[in-house]
Amino acid sequence: MSTGKLTIDLAAVAANWRALAKISQVETGATVKANGYGLDMARVGQHLAKAGARQFFVATAEEGVALRRALGNGPTISVFSGHMAGDAQAIAGANLHPMINSVDQMLRHVEALPGHPFGLQLDTGMNRLGMEPDEWSALRDIALAQNPVLIMSHLACADEPDHPMNKHQLEQFEAMTAGLDVPRSLAATGGTLLGSDYHFDIVRPGIGLYGALPFEQAQPVVTLDIPVIQIREVAKSETVGYGNTWTAPAPSRIATIAAGYADGLIRAMGANAMFYHGSQAVPLVGRVSMDSITVDITSLSDFPESLQLIGPHQSVDQVAEFAGTIGYEILTNLGGRYDRTWVS
């Protein structure tokens, strides 16, 4: 096989959901946007539904329609982007709950789909989505008269437990929703780990389900093995790859493997990245190119058929660190050429 093998452990996804549900002790939903963080929204959603999840969160109405096809009737699917122009048919047909972000969205929703369930998103300081306090004050009575099914906000710094923004947003959310008899949600993965003050009625973990930080106790979900195309001997002082960026300090053995930035292994990994053959680490050398990467395997006693980038010896977050990014970006960019296997 000439493409990398991406193995996705759905049992681990379900185990991570159960672990976060145990921490929260409130209803625990699942955020499966961006195609289940790159791991197949339909399969992930179906497995989580079997595990007991009944609240799902997606980014767009189009994602919601696809998820409804996979889950069937029953589970609630909420849409973070709210009710966008042209979404009415999708929202009604798939029975989605748009999380209304503005006065304009509120008017659009009640005019197009009177009586259809919806939620409200409030901005408590992130300045990304949701109604700010003044806008909420003006719309509050009108919105509440339409019987929203959920009120939510989103934490900006939940992956930094001691950041003062967490407490500030908590206080803002409590002030904006005080006295309301509507289910509330503030916490994603990071907020779930901040403690019960942040849990309210529903938590909606995302990245923690997929084995990444900030959920340090998460079971790993992804393994990525990349086949070796060719192995060559490189003499001392010869260079490897585009731009001659790596020069062999001594006679070296170089393996060229079948993946590159077209497969989501971003170029910024540069010479920081390590691969594994069994438990032995070997370094990337030269530049990451579109379809191939060169790795110095001089230290190995045998000729590997593949090298592993993500697995038991190296997490998705460690791979992200090589490129100065986060696990979210690595997961959601894993390319379409991989041979994917889902295990449960």
Quote the radius of gyration of the chain (alpha carbons, Å): 23
Residues serving a catalytic function are: 33, 242
Chain center to CA of 39: 9
Q: Are 42 and 8 in contact (CB under 8 A)?
A: no
CA-CA distance, 202 to 223, in Å (whole number)? 31
User: What stretches of the chain adopt beta strand conformation (E)?
Assistant: 5-9, 27-28, 30-31, 55-58, 76-79, 97-100, 119-121, 150-152, 184-185, 202-203, 222-234, 239-240, 246-247, 252-257, 274-277, 280-285, 293-296, 306-310, 339-343
Q: Which of 123, 21, 50, 44 is nearest to 82 (CA)?
A: 123
- Angle at CA 88, nearest 5°, toward 84 and 92? 130
> What would the two tokens of residue 341 be?
């296997």
Q: Are 81 and 100 in contact (CB under 8 A)?
A: no
Helix (H, G, I), strand (E, B) or coil at 285: strand
Q: Which of 200, 210, 221 is nearest to 33 (CA)?
A: 210
